[in-house]
A = this chain, B = another copy of it.
Amino acid sequence: MWPSTGMVQTQQRRPRVVIIGSGFGGLFAAKALKRADVDVVLVAKTNHHLFQPLLYQVATGILSEGSIAPATREILRRQSNAEVQLGEVVDIDVSNRTVTSWTPEGPRQTSFDSLIVAAGSRQSYFGNDRFAEHAPGLKSIDDALELRGRILSAFEFAEAEPHADRVEQWLTFVIVGAGATGVELAGQISELARYTLRRDFRRIDPARARIILVDAAPMILGTFDEQLAAKAMRRLLRLGVEVRLDTAVVDVDGNGLTVRGADGDTRRIQASTVIWAAGVAASALGRHLADQVGVDVDRAGRIPVEADCSLPGNADIFVVGDMMDSGLPGVAQVAMQSGTYAASVIAARAAGRPVPGPFRYRDKGSMATVSRFSAVASVGRVRISGFAAWLMWLFVHLQYLIGFKQRVTTLLHWLISFLGRGRAERVVTRQQVARWALDTEPHT
């Protein structure tokens, strides 16, 4: 019989650090503990780390899923003090210092000396969870493959459709939310329709597809400099994307959505493909922790933390990345830096060294690509757009991608898509076709 994790614990002297999540926060925390005299247990509900900034490229057929999602245990294979467990954490017991995760073999309890909670965020429909069925989000590889199937099938179904109004509905793609993900998706779906698929069909003209980007805010890329956002906006319009600002989503169903514009009037948009890129909420573990220590989460489910990212009153429990209510944006850089920081505090304590000062976020800038050869970027006070920004985007993303294999396959797929306008990953599974066809009311 194999010893359970709890039994091993009592025989060991080294403190155990449990990390929840294999995203940027969790992975960088684990790596930062490489030389610390601790045992690291990383518990994650997927077998892979996910390079989320490029997820939209899996959804639009540019990259294969493996290119942005290396196996977590492969990344940590040479780190002998780290162990990876596949499991979904269902309980954190703050007083007894245990984490319970659900594994295929039933629940599993792991005790910890220190804990780093980096469970990230999920899609939020702002209380309208019924939208989810018709407007999937883009947070996981599952989501990206689902969207790839929907987007590519929509053109197939349009080609098969005898009725002009239904053709138009199949060829209308609505993206809700004009942050970086929404803008990038809109740009890539437009390039797919206007260039990649241009000559592939006989009955429809894919270039006639309507790509509509909807946001309740008065401008796209709200977190960016106004001038940069305006440049990205012009680029989107040149790509034929329709941008509807000051526009709120009232309802979503199987045939499209209803929106309310700045004038207060509601309008109907018939669209078979609606993608939700509008909002995120912290993992439910945030509220679960907050309830135990008697603090409140914010509207997005994020939990207030101390200056050292620790849970109020619990110096050995850290909350990092998207889950912390710290006034910082939910971006990869914040997750990486806070994860690394929490690990450094734990490592210092384990070594009896003085702990570092409070967590300070170093903003390395932000960037978004609108289409091939065109991006916007702000680094410090520098604002760049166009081809130079795109080149910068390319190198920065290659640099942050985890894994040599991932870098070379990504670079090759980019050559294919950016030089040749092609998409190497156009597979729709039969399951996807069958399922979506079932969801679609046949024409009567």
Residues of B within 8 A of A4 (CB): 162
Residues of B within 8 A of A152 (CB): 47, 71
Residues of B within 8 A of A427 (CB): 47-48, 65-66, 69, 141
Contacting residues of chain A (143-177) with chain B, CB-CB under 8 angstroms: 145, 152-153, 156-157, 159-164, 166-167
Asked if A128 is at the interface (CB within 8 A of a chain B CB), the reply is: no
* Binary B-proximity of A168-205 (CB < 8 A = 1, otherwise 0): 00000000000000000000000000000001111100
Residues of B within 8 A of A3 (CB): 162
Asked if A372 is at the interface (CB within 8 A of a chain B CB), the reply is: no
Residues of B within 8 A of A45 (CB): 430, 433
A20 to chain B, nearest CB (A): 16
* CB atoms of A437 and B163 under 8 A apart: no
A420-B405 contact in complex given A140-B430, A426-B74, A427-B66, C-beta closer than 8 Å: yes
Partner of A426, one of B66, B108, B203: B66
Asked if A349 is at the interface (CB within 8 A of a chain B CB), the reply is: no
* CB atoms of B140 and A106 under 8 A apart: no
Asked if A440 is at the interface (CB within 8 A of a chain B CB), the reply is: yes
Partner of A162, one of B1, B71, B145, B420: B1
Closest to A85 in B: B160
* Binary B-proximity of A63-90 (CB < 8 A = 1, otherwise 0): 0111101110110011000011111000
Contacting residues of chain A (70-121) with chain B, CB-CB under 8 angstroms: 70-71, 73-74, 77-78, 83-87, 103-106, 108
Residues of B within 8 A of A437 (CB): 104
For A, the interface residue count at a CB cutoff of 8 angstroms equals 75
Q: Which stretch in A310-318, A326-334, A408-416 binds the other chain?
A: A408-416
Partner of A416, one of B74, B142, B405: B405
The CA of A200 and the CA of B159, in the complex, are separated in Å by: 46
The CA of A104 and the CA of B159, in the complex, are separated in Å by: 11
* CB atoms of B142 and A48 under 8 A apart: no
Asked if A424 is at the interface (CB within 8 A of a chain B CB), the reply is: yes
Asked if A292 is at the interface (CB within 8 A of a chain B CB), the reply is: no
Asked if A2 is at the interface (CB within 8 A of a chain B CB), the reply is: yes
A63 to chain B, nearest CB (A): 9
* CB atoms of B409 and A142 under 8 A apart: no
Asked if A429 is at the interface (CB within 8 A of a chain B CB), the reply is: yes
Asked if A10 is at the interface (CB within 8 A of a chain B CB), the reply is: no
Closest to A412 in B: B412
Asked if A443 is at the interface (CB within 8 A of a chain B CB), the reply is: yes
Contacting residues of chain A (285-314) with chain B, CB-CB under 8 angstroms: none
* CB atoms of A141 and B2 under 8 A apart: no
* CB atoms of B156 and A66 under 8 A apart: no
* CB atoms of B442 and A67 under 8 A apart: no
What 7 A-B pairs have minimum CB-CB distances, sorted nearest first?
Answer: A64-B64, A66-B425, A104-B437, A71-B426, A103-B160, A73-B200, A83-B202
A sample of 9 inter-chain contacts (CB < 8 A) reads: A48-B428, A61-B66, A64-B409, A66-B426, A87-B160, A105-B160, A405-B420, A408-B412, A409-B416
Q: Interface on A for B, CB 8 Å cutoff? A: 1-4, 45-48, 61, 64-67, 69-71, 73-74, 77-78, 83-87, 103-106, 108, 140-142, 145, 152-153, 156-157, 159-164, 166-167, 199-203, 405-406, 408-409, 412-413, 416, 420, 422-431, 433, 436-437, 440, 442-443
Known: A2-B163, A140-B430. 4 other contacts (CB 8 A): A45-B430, A70-B426, A78-B199, A108-B160
